[in-house]
Every structure is written in C-alpha cells, then in structure tokens.
Structure 1
Amino acid sequence: MLKQIIGVVLAMTLGAGSAWIAAGFFSPDAVVSDAALPLPQGGDFTLQGVNGAVNLRDFRGKTVVLYFGYTACPDICPTSMATLKAALGQLNAAELQQVQGLFVSVDPERDTLAHIQRYVGYFHHSLIGVSGEQAQLQEITRRYNAFYRKVDVPGSAMAYTIDHSAILYVIDKQGQVREQVQHAVPPAELAAAIRRWL
C-alpha cells in the first residue's frame, strides 16, 4: 500500500514538473508555441514605479509589452529584455510612440524601485520598471498565468534565486492580452506581434 501511495505522489509530482517545463517555467531554453498557451485573463493592476503609482490603465491607447522578472536574474531576464530592446529597435519612430514596455519585478525584497528603473534603462530609455507587495504580485501573476517562486541557495552570496516564467505579454490598446511571446524568440517575431496590435 505504501509503495502505491509513493508511486501516485511521484507520478503527480513528475506530471506537474513536466507541465511547468512545457510552459517554459524552468527551462530558459524552452521554446513553446504561442498557440499552446491559452491567453490569460490579465486585467488592470496598480504597482509602484520610481515616480509613483503606475496603473496599466495609464497606457490605454498604447500597445503594452509586459514582463515579470527580477533584476538579479542571471540569464532569462537579460535575454528577455535584450529581445524586447531589439524588437523596439525595429519599430519606426511613429510606431515606437504607440508602445510601452513594462517590467514587473517579482523580487521586491531586493529590488528597490530606483534599481528596477536603472535596470530597465540599460535596455531601453522608454521602459518602465515597477513592483509591489508580495500579495499584489501573486494576485497579478495569477491573472496573467505567470509563475514565480523563491528558491533558497545556501552558501551563495545571493542567498536565493527566483524561478519564474519567461513570457512577454502583448497587450492591446484597450488593455486586453492578445499574444504571449517566448523570451528567446528572434526579435523580429516580437516586433511583428507588437505591430499587429498598433
């Protein structure tokens, strides 16, 4: 009986892990078809930026590219932001005026608002960085079908890392999520997704 219970628990654990991997949550190299991911509920939210409160509604009339990450991320976030930077670089001036990039830090314990803004500024001057309390972040990421969790790293100078999903959400001018783009796609694919909703 004990062996059967252990077997069921192990199967459930492996199944959940496989689902997370399939969604690109744990593998920075995973490339998942956009069609494989159902569009999330999304919706408005208010978080804090270096200059005060930032609400998704503030950007009605613009196409928003939203990303959840953290500034100490060693690989996935820099790749995602570099992809966004290159995609924005493919837009002309008139198109660029209709786009807003938004980086949400899920690591408010370490990421001050000033540091988040400096971080996104390294990639593009127009990007805005925000964060909030953990309860807010968990509620928002749930609505966007995003995932993150703190992982302790004993003996490391960082103390912990954060496993997180790696999706760039393209939100239309009315605030609806329209596309989900994996972080490692060619920038031209992200640029094309943005243009579809200008």
Structure 2
Amino acid sequence: MWKQMLGLLLAVVLGVGGAWLFTSSGWLASDANKSGLPLPQGGDFTLQSAKGAVNLADFRGKVVVLYFGYTACPDICPTSMATLKAALALLTSAEVAKVQGLFVSVDPERDTLEHIQRYVGYFHPSLVGVSGTQAELQEITRRYGAFYRKVEVPGSAMAYTIDHSAILYVLDKQGKVQEQVQHAVPPAELAAAIRRWL
C-alpha cells in the first residue's frame, strides 16, 4: 500500500514539476508549431546576393520561406528546393506573388553569389540566393536554431561536405518565424503552411 502511495506522490510531484518547467521556460503550446518544436527567435539580417545586399526586411508584406543549405549538397538541399518548387506550383499565381523563397548558402568558401542564384533559379525563377561571412552566417543560424558544420573528406574531389539542418522556415508578412517544416514533407503540407500566413 505504501509503495502505491509513494508512486502516486512521485507522479504528482513530477507532473507539477514538468508543468512548472515548461511554463517557466516559456515553452507553451502557443509557442510551438506543426512540427512540435519551439519557434526560434529569428529576426532580420542582411546578406549578399548576386544583385547586391538583401535584407529580410525587404520582403515585408510577403510570406518568406527561408532555407539554410549549400549548392554542392548531394541530396537534402535538392529535395528541400524541389519540395518548395512543388509547393509553389500548388498556389495560385496571385498567391505566389505574395511569397518569397530565400536560400542562404552556408558554404561561402565554395558558393559564389552568381552560382547560388543560378542554383536556386533551377527550381523557381522567383527564388533569391544569398550568403555572407562565416561570422554573419553563424550569428544568423544561431538565431534561427539552424545548424551547420564543415566535414573534411580526405581523398574526395569535393574536399569537404557540410552537415546541416534541413528545415524550411515559414515567416509571416512581418518577418516572424511562424512554422518550421521538415524538408521531405509532401509539398501540399508546405503549401498549406504558406497559405496559413498569406
């Protein structure tokens, strides 16, 4: 009997403690999104494109789909960009006009600005490709909860690859992160996430 009472008391304490932890840390259901992950801080930034400086604030009034990757990525980035392309194809032309896709290369050592823009252009003509210094990229990815790191591959023609997270961030018209969508979701799921903020 006493073991049951002790078990019940322990369950109550853990339950209350868990609830306090989530509320005191600010992690409430309202702060999460469809992925179940807490939303990152995000925020404005300025990076360089083939046509000059691009600030996230330039796209106020549009829903922005933001992605961190690199052009030599063998599978994850092409899958992510193909998902975005297919999602845009599910929107009307009037809706697409209110959406901006933004690809941030985390490989400035290898990705020239012109090459990044050619790469994203293969997927959709409205996409913009940007990059910056390592210091800039590290600061921005930290705020967005993104991850990347260079991995040397001795003996490979590529010399190195980059491990990175694979999230499509959906930002509302004020530039605030509202949803995080995994790169390999059905395109209809990403299209629905975009439509929720148009």
Q: TM-score range by the shorter chain?
A: 0.7 to 0.9
> Following the alignment from structure 1 to structure 2, what is the Cα–Cα distance between the partners of residues 68 and 40?
14
Partner of 2:65: helix, strand, or coil?
strand
> Following the alignment from structure 2 to structure 1, what is the Cα–Cα distance between the partners of residues 144 and 127?
20
CA contact (8 A) 1:170 1:194 kept: yes
Q: Which runs of 5+ in 2 are unaligned?
A: 1-32
Alpha-carbon displacement from aligned partner over 1:98-151 (angstroms, at most 9, x marks no partner): 000000000000000000000000000000000000000000000000000000
CA contact (8 A) 1:34 1:182 kept: no
Matching residue's letter, 1:173: K
> Following the alignment from structure 2 to structure 1, what is the Cα–Cα distance between the partners of residues 41 and 52?
26
TM-score, length basis structure 2: 0.83
CA contact (8 A) 1:166 1:183 kept: yes
Q: Which residue of 2 aligns with 1:163?
A: 163
Shift in Å, 1:177: 0.2
CA contact (8 A) 1:151 1:162 kept: yes
Q: Which residue of 1 aligns with 2:81?
A: 81
Give the count of matched residue pairs: 166
CA RMSD of aligned residues (A): 0.8
CA contact (8 A) 1:46 1:53 kept: yes
Shift in Å, 1:37: 1.4
CA contact (8 A) 2:35 2:179 kept: no
Q: Which runs of 5+ in 1 are unaligned?
A: 1-32
Q: Which residue of 1 aligns with 2:19?
A: none
Q: Which residue of 2 aligns with 1:17?
A: none
> Following the alignment from structure 1 to structure 2, what is the Cα–Cα distance between the partners of residues 35 and 195?
16
Structure 1 or 2, whichever has the larger Rg, is 2
CA contact (8 A) 2:35 2:181 kept: no
Q: 1:34 to 1:155 in 2, by over 3 A?
A: farther
Matching residue's letter, 2:166: A
Q: Which residue of 2 aligns with 1:102?
A: 102
Shift in Å, 1:162: 0.1
TM-score, length basis structure 1: 0.83
